[in-house]
Amino acid sequence: MKPRGWAFAGLACGLLGGVIAFAPAAWLASAVATQTQGRLLLADARGTVWAGSARMLLSGGADSRDAVALPGRLLWSLGLHGMALELRARQACCIAGTLRLQVRPGFGRLALTLPAPAADAAPALIGQWPLSWLAGLGTPWNTLQLGGQLALSSPGLRLESVQGRWRLAGSATFDLQDVASRVSRLAPLGSYRLVLEGGAAGGAPALLRLSTLQGALQLQADGQWSTGGLRLRGEARAAPGTEAALDNLLNIIGRRNGALSVLSIG
């Protein structure tokens, strides 16, 4: 190659390196919005893809007027961890300490790994989020206007996409604490636990189990999560003595069958 050719090649490599090193945070925000169909938004993104911050919003998607932001800003950094990228995220309102998520891209595949805690430790608390945040997703959450907290913990989790098909290994527990709703005079309604378990075999759907920890509104459901989406079937009922107070809510959340409300999602 002639000297001038080497010069142009060096300039091109330098420009490419500069673009990669200083890729704006807005590029990451755009990718997240696209992958979530506009339901999770990183608004007012600042900094770069590698070190930045943004406000986290939930939205009903394109043309939705519903959008709710978490307080404060999400702070992140992205760097190498062995053969993978490691995302480190912090948010004072909601994330417990620093969230570490390893991202391993490949040909036709993408793996996201939430590292397991030490062998002698309890499942790690990932964070706590206000249930009122869900109102940003639109119907039915903007009608229910939930109160309470969602706490997420996990002993380790791996989510992998292979040629567009997602599979899950590990488990996660979602504790819904002191749940309330504006469509019910009774508050709180109760506390609940949703457990997500990875499929027993490669490609098998992940299993879901919803149970009541305590409270007047009794919920029970089982289901699956897979590439095809979420499927959950169960029932809701009022604890003895609370039937009148919960009648309207039971009509809203499912199909009435006598004292029961039949739950069906997906």
pLDDT tens, 41-93?
A: 999 999 999 999 999 999 988 777 788 999 999 999 998 887 788 999 999 99
pLDDT category at 203 given cuts 50, 70, 90 is low
Name the percent of the chain lying above pLDDT 70: 87
Q: Kindly state whether residues 188 and 258 are assigned to the same domain.
A: yes
Element (H, E) at 57: strand 51-59
Helix (H) or strand (E) holding 33: helix 25-35
Q: 251 CB contacts (<8 Å, ≥6 apart)?
A: 261
> Quick one: pLDDT band at residue 114, thresholds 50, 70, 90?
confident
Say if CB 74 and CB 54 are below 8 A apart: yes
The length of the chain, given as a count of residues: 266
Please check whether residues 28 and 99 belong to one and the same domain.
yes
Cα 81 to Cα 89, 100, 189: the distances in Å are 15, 11, 44
Q: Are residues 78 and 184 in the same domain?
A: no
User: From CA 258, how far away is CA 256, in angstroms rounded?
Assistant: 6
Amino acid letter, 41: L
Same-domain status, 73 and 50: yes
Find the helix or strand (DSSP H, E) in which 244 lies. Answer: helix 243-253
> 41 and 120, same structural domain?
no
Domain enclosing residue 44, as ranges: 8-106
Q: How confident is the model at residue 200 (pLDDT cuts 50, 70, 90)?
A: low
Domain count, the chain: 2
pLDDT band at 261 (very low <50, low <70, confident <90, very high): very high
Say if 1 falls within a structural domain.
no
152: exposed, middle or buried (Cβ count in 10 Å: 0-12, 13-18, 19+):
buried
Note the pLDDT tens digit of each residue in 157-190: 888 877 777 788 889 999 999 999 998 989 999 9
| Rounded CA separation 113/158 (Å) | 4
Last residue of a domain, one of 85, 106, 127: 106
* Strand, helix or coil for residue 171: strand
Q: Which of 31-40, 236-245, 251-260 has the lowest mean pLDDT?
A: 31-40
DSSP designation for 169: E
Q: What is the mean pLDDT of residues 112-126?
A: 73
Residue-wise pLDDT tens digits, 92-105:
999 999 999 998 88
Domain membership flag for residue 111? no
Residues 239 and 133 in one domain: yes
Last residue of a domain, one of 106, 131, 160: 106
Residue 21 pLDDT: 53
Residue 252 lies in a domain: yes
Q: Last residue of a domain, which of 106, 129, 145?
A: 106
Distance CA 141, CA 67 (A): 11
Q: 194 and 85, same structural domain? A: no
The pLDDT score that the predictor gives to residue 244 is 92
Q: Is residue 2 part of a domain?
A: no
Domain check: are 79 and 206 in the same one? no
Contact 185, 217 (CB under 8 A): no
